[in-house]
């Protein structure tokens, strides 16, 4: 992977105009760190960053980090960021590069499992949300060398078993005497019908009602 000059990041961002960090100092942790920042900019994306050679190698992932084994998402290789950027969350003011809101979606440490000669990386992430193996491949999608793939790998070497599946319940209407009038509310008519949560796993949707019934067949095709 070609190292990019720090000046590219620096050229795009003006420290007088944005609260984002610019320095590169850090303490001595043994493991390299990773961070995923949810960046609600002109287009929502997730910035996937790995500590590499004293900086944060970075990819913008429009669809977010793939969570199901075998799933792969476009990851656009962008300029390195300084290490301190890993803890940044907040507003990038309008008019600046990447203007919008940055939240830390996950962070932690990682082990470098494999580094290919073409720059491809396999890492084992140890985060709050992300635990397991991911591979970054310089796939040059559409002939563009910035267009990499981020792939969720299956854990094959008896690593930690996958945790219990997260479960979600559908939102339900609540009977009330009056409607709230503050800002930030939207109203919609409660139609009769099914409330179903759909889970997509490796291209395979699963549809469950709030009582856990499988409605996949009923609504297939």
Q: Which residues are catalytic?
A: 190
HSE, CB side, 13 Å, CA atoms: give it for residue 153: 18
Number of H helices, E strands in the chain: 1, 11
Q: Pick the closer one to Mn ion by CB: 13 or 199.
A: 13
How far apart (Å, rounded) are the C-alpha atoms in residues 189 and 196? Answer: 17
How far apart (Å, rounded) are the C-alpha atoms in residues 108 and 128? Answer: 7
How far apart (Å, rounded) are the C-alpha atoms in residues 88 and 39? Answer: 11
How far apart (Å, rounded) are the C-alpha atoms in residues 48 and 67? Answer: 14
Q: Pick the closer one to Mn ion by CB: 33 or 75.
A: 75
Confirm or reject binding of residue 20 to Mn ion (CB under 5 A).
no
Confirm or reject binding of residue 81 to Mn ion (CB under 5 A).
no
What contacts 122, CB < 8 A, 6 or more positions away?
Answer: 112, 113, 114, 115, 133, 134, 135, 136, 153
Confirm or reject binding of residue 77 to Mn ion (CB under 5 A).
no
Q: Select the residue interacting with Mn ion from 20, 33, 39, 121 (CB under 5 A).
A: 39
Token pair listed for 158 = 């008896």
Q: Are 126 and 107 in contact (CB under 8 A)?
A: no
CB of 59 to Mn ion, least distance (A): 10
Confirm or reject binding of residue 51 to Mn ion (CB under 5 A).
no
Q: Pick the closer one to Mn ion by CB: 133 or 136.
A: 136
Using CB under 5 A, which of the segments 46-54, 82-90, 127-135, 174-182 binds Mn ion? 46-54
How far apart (Å, rounded) are the C-alpha atoms in residues 158 and 161? Answer: 7
Q: Pick the closer one to Mn ion by CB: 39 or 77.
A: 39
CB of 52 to Mn ion, least distance (A): 17
Using CB under 5 A, which of the segments 32-40, 139-147, 170-178, 188-196 binds Mn ion? 32-40
Confirm or reject binding of residue 47 to Mn ion (CB under 5 A).
yes
**Total chain residues near Mn ion (CB under 5 A):** 2
Please give the residue ranges that form the binding site for Mn ion (CB under 5 A): 39, 47
């Amino acid at each position: 992977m070609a190292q990019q000059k720090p000046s590219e990041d620096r050229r795009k961002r003006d420290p007088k105009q944005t609260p984002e960090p610019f320095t590169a100092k850090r303490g001595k942790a043994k493991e390299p760190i990773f961070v995923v920042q949810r960046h609600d900019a002109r287009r929502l994306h997730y910035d996937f960053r790995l500590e590499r050679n004293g900086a944060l190698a970075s990819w913008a992932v429009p669809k977010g980090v793939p969570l199901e084994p075998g799933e792969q998402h476009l990851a656009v290789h962008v300029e390195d960021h300084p290490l301190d950027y890993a803890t940044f969350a907040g507003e990038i003011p309008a008019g600046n590069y990447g203007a919008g809101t940055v939240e830390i979606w996950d962070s932690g440490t990682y082990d470098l499992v494999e580094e290919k000669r073409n720059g491809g990386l396999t890492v084992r992430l140890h985060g709050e949300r992300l635990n397991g193996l991911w591979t970054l491949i310089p796939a040059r999608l559409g002939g563009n060398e910035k267009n990499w793939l981020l792939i969720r790998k299956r854990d094959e070497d008896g690593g930690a078993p996958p945790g219990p599946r997260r479960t979600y319940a559908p939102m339900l209407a609540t009977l009330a005497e009056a409607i709230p009038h503050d800002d930030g509310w939207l109203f919609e008519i409660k139609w009769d019908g099914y409330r179903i949560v759909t889970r997509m796993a490796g291209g395979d949707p699963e549809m469950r009602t709030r009582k856990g019934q499988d409605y996949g067949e009923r609504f297939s095709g």
